Amino acid sequence: MKQAPPVPGRVDVASIGEDLPLLEGIRTTLSIRRLRPEPVPPALLRKVCEAGTFAPSGGNRQPWTFVAVTEPERRAWVAERYRAAFDAYIAPARKAAEAPDFPAARRRNIESAAWLSDHLHEVPVHLFVAGRLRRGDPQFQSVFPAIQNVLLACRAVGLGACLTMLHLAHGRQIDEYLGLAEDNPSCALIAVGWPAVAYRRPVRRPVDEVLHFERYRDADEKDAKKKT
């Protein structure tokens, strides 16, 4: 595991993160679940949420709302519920992971997610992102670009972050706790804190496997097979 940078003492919010090249930041943003308990300055949180507000949205409706939970008792309340949802969700995967041939990468992912679940109360910021309904329907497609911007901004300023959604298993209970009305439900909980591990390039499918020009390649191969 590569060395993580030390937690900065005083942060110059105006300048921090401004010099990271965009594409390098994109290529080295991954889920960081091992987060340190030291607090995150509210002005820095404001900065990463501001990056969120520059996202595109349908009709420029900007349906997002951010609620940052930082008080220890409130984080403990959230974490308790997250853990219950996680335990139920992960149980089948944990069982499957007992098999000796279970892929090591997936096992690491389960362990990492479990670590976050066990330590969520210690994570200094639970950043909830809510999205106003439109004609009674969620506008997730207009909230997730903002969420991605927040994740990238966290990377740029040196914060670690992990997007999660398991709190949704609790239905309205958590939204009520956050003061979110029924027409403005939360859709994500981003764990944010100073990283305890270093950034690196995440494992992803190679672009040449997923990029096609003009037509989906497999469709052409199927057509060719039909002709022979």
Ligand X SMILES: Cc1cc2nc3c(=O)[nH]c(=O)nc-3n(C[C@H](O)[C@H](O)[C@H](O)COP(=O)(O)O)c2cc1C
Binding residues vs ligand X (CB under 6 A):
30-31, 33, 109, 113, 116, 162-166, 202
219's CB contacts (< 8 A; 6+ apart) are: none
Q: Shortest Cβ distance from residue 112 to ligand X (Å)?
A: 7
Q: Where are the beta strands (DSSP E) in 38-164?
A: 64-69, 125-131, 160-164
Q: Shortest Cβ distance from residue 195 to ligand X (Å)?
A: 12
Q: Environment class of residue 211 by beta-carbon count within 10 Å: exposed (0-12), middle (13-18) or buried (19+)?
A: exposed
Q: Cα(126)–Cα(136) distance, rounded to whole angstroms?
A: 26
Nearer residue to ligand X within complex by CB, 31 or 70: 31
Q: Shortest Cβ distance from residue 13 to ligand X (Å)?
A: 26
Q: Cα(69)–Cα(59) distance, rounded to whole angstroms?
A: 29
Q: Shortest Cβ distance from residue 117 to ligand X (Å)?
A: 7
Q: What is the C-alpha end-to-end distance of the chain, expressed in Å?
A: 51
Q: Shortest Cβ distance from residue 168 to ligand X (Å)?
A: 9
CB atoms within 10 A of CB 26: 13
Q: Shortest Cβ distance from residue 225 to ligand X (Å)?
A: 34
Nearer residue to ligand X within complex by CB, 13 or 28: 28
Name residue 125's beta-bridge partners.
192
Nearer residue to ligand X within complex by CB, 135 or 205: 205
Nearer residue to ligand X within complex by CB, 41 or 141: 141
Q: Where are the beta strands (DSSP E) in 1-124?
A: 35-36, 64-69
Nearer residue to ligand X within complex by CB, 78 or 162: 162
Whats the size of the chain, residue-wise? 228
Nearer residue to ligand X within complex by CB, 16 or 114: 114
Residue 64 in tokens:
């997002």
Element (H, E) at 95: helix 72-96
